[in-house]
Amino acid sequence: MAHDEAWQLRAIGLVRSDVKERKQMPPLGAPAAIEVYPEFADGLLRLEKHSHIWVLAWLHGAERDLLQVVPRGVRAEEPDALHGVFAVRSPVRPNPIGLTVTRIVRVHDTRIEVARLDFIDGTPVIDLKPYFVSRDLVFSAANRQIGRPASRENLRESLIEQALNFHGETCPDLALAVRVMEHYRWEVLGGSDPEGLRVIAPWERGCLVDALIGMTRVSPGRGTLSLLAGDRVRLELRDRAHEYLLLPLLVYDVAATLAAPDEALFDWREVTPG
């Protein structure tokens, strides 16, 4: 078989989304639906066994003759801005296949409504596969940061998603954990994703601890997470340590916690490490 042989792909459906242009796509995607063509309807049998699916799409507008790009969120003048296309999720690649995992909201006949999809309206879908927790979830996987979030709001949205992926529900203590991590990453670390972070968290507050694990991948077994008494979160990165004293939530509510000013949620300070 020649290595440059071409294969034929057929779309099995298409994306329906309010987002019509790639420039308008939020970083984490937008609510969308996949309309599967009637001739592939039988392939959806027992899809309801799965909460999440992989969606593979053909990004027909993308450039195919570039092998290195400056990914979204990376400033072109930074010395390590250029990345190989196989090291990033850019649509630019020899075979412009998009890959996204998303939560199924509802299946109605051949229409699958999903929580978020970063494919614009009309994108051809070439395959759907179930997301298997038992083999797709590599909890100890790690990435070095590719691009810094463009704004504190983008960072917050990404942190909510990561916390929610682990904890499985939004609740006020998850929102508080998001606000602490958002403050730490934005105000203390200038937007970077800390590598080698150690977290000390209150053992009585399970939701808060879950959210912190989801956002930082710390674990007791790896020695990166310790649980102690007291309403404080301590974040240690190499030779610096910061402590967040958690104030009682005035209103026990997710939206109120996400909207509250920092000083209504916690007192923070740099402390002596160790």
In this complex, which beta carbon is closest to Zn ion, that of residue 74 or of residue 207?
207
In this complex, which beta carbon is closest to Zn ion, that of residue 37 or of residue 252?
252
In this complex, which beta carbon is closest to Zn ion, that of residue 112 or of residue 209?
209
Tally Cβ neighbours within 10 Å of residue 172: 18
Q: Measured between alpha carbons, how far is residue 96 from residues 24, 30, 42, 65, 70 in Å? A: 19, 20, 27, 10, 16
Please give the residue whose beta carbon sits closest to Zn ion in the complex: 207
What is the nearest approach in angstroms of Zn ion to the Cβ of residue 172?
Answer: 8
Size of the site for Zn ion (CB under 5 A): 2
x/- site string to Zn ion, residues 150 to 189, per CB under 5 A?
---------------------x------------------
Helix/strand/coil for 39: helix
What is the nearest approach in angstroms of Zn ion to the Cβ of residue 171?
Answer: 3
- Note whether 207 binds Zn ion by CB under 5 A: yes
What is the nearest approach in angstroms of Zn ion to the Cβ of residue 75?
Answer: 37
Q: Are 88 and 3 in contact (CB under 8 A)?
A: no
Measure the CA–CA gap between 109 and 146, rounded to whole angstroms.
39
What is the nearest approach in angstroms of Zn ion to the Cβ of residue 211?
Answer: 8
Residue 59's nearest CA partner among 15, 96, 100 is: 96
Q: Are 45 and 76 in contact (CB under 8 A)?
A: no
In this complex, which beta carbon is closest to Zn ion, that of residue 112 or of residue 218?
218
Q: How far from each other are the two terminal CA atoms of the chain, in whole angstroms?
A: 60
In this complex, which beta carbon is closest to Zn ion, that of residue 69 or of residue 209?
209
Which residues are at the interface with Zn ion (CB under 5 A)?
171, 207
